[in-house]
């Protein structure tokens, strides 16, 4: 049997970060070593509180959670409560976690664990790249010490979701992204055998939205009554706040968090569902065969004009610079959604089995 993949998740929890944490906790092929927190969707302290609470819900209070940077490298922090709710988890409410934030900073944790386990750890970044950029300043050898890095961020052949040019994580801290991609370019110049970061941008993460029928399937797998978390079983009508609460706490959390996300997308994107970008990156990290990638040179625009925070990918090789990133161009969205529903549903059933009656 293949050994579980040692992972560090770097999150700005957020609704889709929460769904990624649940997936990692539910995956037998993931060895969740630690979670580091960065300000992004909500301020840093709220990110840490959300992360601890979601991990406790998922039965993983044992995972070390460390708070890293609480602001971008050079810019004031922008947050996204309009997208993720006032606390970052939509309509969901979780009790405060019993576990506490680590005494280590998230930045130091990344550097220290990479030194302790050279060549073993995969870092999956789901928020702005601030923590990784800061960790590179602490430990410039990270491109050699980490087994691989997976990044959620950027928009390459599609428009951004924050500006026409920029995706949210890049927009929050473009200088950090610029530093990260330049660091790998420099490291690869010295040693071409280093693994390039794999970057999943909006080109792939927006192709496979989650919809109410996926929540229905998850509820069924968890043994939760269909009338509890959703309005109808056809996936056409929205999840309604007046529906009685699901007996399964994890199903209730997923439904309440995603309902906020669904309403946001219905308002701005014209469909009742959501792009859950972050779990897709965790799925790809655990099974790289699900994604097709192209090796390219990527830079990030750090100016303040209309192209600010744009991820610029040299698909045609016009710059003559060697690739520093593997950009995802395809991903099996049906398999991704199927795995997410199946694994999270199974975890919900195992942790919160229905009453015998």
Radius of gyration from C-alpha coordinates of the chain: 19
Residues in a beta bridge with 10: 36, 125
Please state, in angstroms and rounded to a whole number, the distance separating the CA atoms of residues 288 and 233: 33
Bridge-based pairing state of the strands 198-200 and 291-296: unpaired
Helical segments of 269-330, H only: 277-286
Q: Which helix (H) or strand (E) holds 170?
A: helix 168-172
**Could you tell me if 264 and 274 are in contact, meaning their C-beta atoms sit under 8 angstroms apart?**
yes
**Could you tell me if 327 and 293 are in contact, meaning their C-beta atoms sit under 8 angstroms apart?**
yes
Cα distances from 278 to residues 145, 196, 201, in angstroms, run 24, 19, 10
Please state, in angstroms and rounded to a whole number, the distance separating the CA atoms of residues 156 and 35: 27
What three-state secondary structure class fits 127?
coil
**Among this protein's residues, is 277 annotated catalytic?**
yes
Q: Which residue is catalytic, options 84, 214, 275, 277? A: 277
Residue 95 carries which DSSP code?
P
What three-state secondary structure class fits 303?
coil
Catalytic residue ranges: 277
């Amino acid at each position: 049997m293949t050994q579980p993949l040692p992972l560090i998740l770097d999150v700005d929890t957020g609704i889709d970060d929460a769904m990624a944490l649940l997936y990692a906790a539910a995956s037998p092929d993931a060895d969740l070593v630690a979670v580091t927190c960065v300000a992004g969707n909500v301020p840093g302290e709220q990110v840490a509180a959300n992360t601890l609470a979601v991990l406790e819900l998922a039965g993983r209070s044992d995972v070390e959670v460390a708070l890293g940077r609480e602001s971008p490298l050079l810019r004031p922090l922008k947050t996204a409560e309009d997208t993720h709710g006032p606390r970052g988890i939509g309509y969901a409410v979780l009790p405060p976690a019993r576990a506490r934030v680590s005494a280590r900073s998230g930045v130091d944790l990344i550097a220290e664990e990479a030194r302790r386990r050279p060549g073993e750890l995969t870092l999956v970044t789901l928020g702005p790249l601030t923590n990784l950029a800061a960790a590179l300043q602490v430990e410039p050898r990270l491109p050699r010490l980490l087994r691989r890095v997976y990044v959620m961020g950027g928009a390459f052949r599609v428009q951004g979701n924050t500006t026409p040019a920029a995706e949210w994580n890049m927009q929050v801290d473009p200088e950090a992204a610029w530093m990260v991609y330049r660091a790998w370019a420099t490291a690869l110049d010295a040693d071409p055998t280093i693994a390039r970061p794999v970057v999943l941008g909006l080109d792939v993460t927006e192709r496979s939205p989650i919809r109410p029928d996926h929540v229905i399937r998850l509820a069924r797998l968890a043994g939760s009554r269909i009338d509890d978390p959703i309005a109808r079983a056809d996936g056409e009508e929205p999840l309604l706040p007046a529906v009685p609460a699901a007996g399964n706490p994890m199903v209730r959390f997923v439904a309440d968090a995603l309902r906020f996300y669904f309403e946001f997308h219905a308002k701005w994107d014209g469909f009742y569902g959501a792009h859950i970008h972050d779990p897709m990156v965790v799925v790809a990290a655990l099974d790289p065969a699900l994604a097709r990638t192209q090796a390219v040179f990527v830079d990030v625009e750090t100016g303040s004009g209309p192209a600010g925070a744009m991820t610029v990918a040299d698909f045609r090789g016009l710059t003559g610079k060697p690739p520093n990133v593997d950009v995802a161009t395809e991903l099996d969205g049906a398999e991704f959604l199927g795995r997410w529903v199946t694994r999270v549903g199974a975890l919900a059933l195992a942790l919160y089995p229905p009453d015998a009656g």
